[in-house]
Structure 1
Amino acid sequence: MSSVTIYSTPTCPYCLAAKELLRSKGVAFNEISIEGDRDAAVALAKKTGRRTVPQIYIGATHVGGFDDLSELNENGRLDALLRREAALS
């Protein structure tokens, strides 16, 4: 199983953008759809402190949403985080 997990909904444009960014880097990920699952959405909000999707984890590190992922990528820190996680796996 991938060490990258994305909590998403199928039609969310930010979810689609996050998945495309990860695919462009050749990163496999585990996608968990919370669409229509109120209990899962509430649990995710409690876990992350956020009510929006996507919510992205790289290993145990909560990256946040697409904006956070994109910022990590633009700052050159995403690749380092992915490499570190791959080394731990």
Structure 2
Amino acid sequence: MSLKITVYSTPSCPWCKKVKQYFKSLGVPFKDVDVSKDPRKAEEMYRKSGQMGVPVVVMGNQVIVGFDKARIDKILGIS
């Protein structure tokens, strides 16, 4: 499965660290975007999610706000 995953995060966000650790523990590749350093990416995240809170996880065409493990598992097909 080649699902494109992007995690919009900031270095100081504990839930961002948790979601990235979760993907790493599953061996699932993802792109980490630090929105604290890139205002254009922060704007892109806002357009996709409708809000400025992090983390925002984009999995294919699904947008998840926060670390919603159940939704992530469902999209990845993990029961």
TM-score category (smaller protein): 0.7 to 0.9
Q: CA RMSD in A?
A: 2.0
Stretches of 4+ moved more than 6 A in 1? Answer: none
- Structure-1 residue corresponding to 2:73: 79
Once residues 73 and 45 of structure 2 are traced to their aligned partners in structure 1, the CA distance between those partners, rounded to angstroms, is 25
TM-score (norm 2): 0.76
CA pair 78-44 structure 1, distance change in 2 beyond 3 A? closer
Identity %: 33
Asked whether the 8 Å contact 2:33–2:41 carries over to 1, the reply is no
TM-score (norm 1): 0.69
User: Matched residue pairs, number?
Assistant: 76
- Structure-2 residue corresponding to 1:55: 56
- Residue 2 of structure 1, CA deviation: 6.1
- Structure-2 residue corresponding to 1:64: 65
CA pair 36-79 structure 1, distance change in 2 beyond 3 A? closer
SS of match in other structure, 1:63: strand
2:49 is matched by which residue type in structure 1?
A: T
Asked whether the 8 Å contact 1:2–1:29 carries over to 2, the reply is no
Q: Which structure: greater helix fraction?
A: 1
- Structure-2 residue corresponding to 1:37: 38
SS of match in other structure, 1:23: helix
- Structure-2 residue corresponding to 1:4: 5
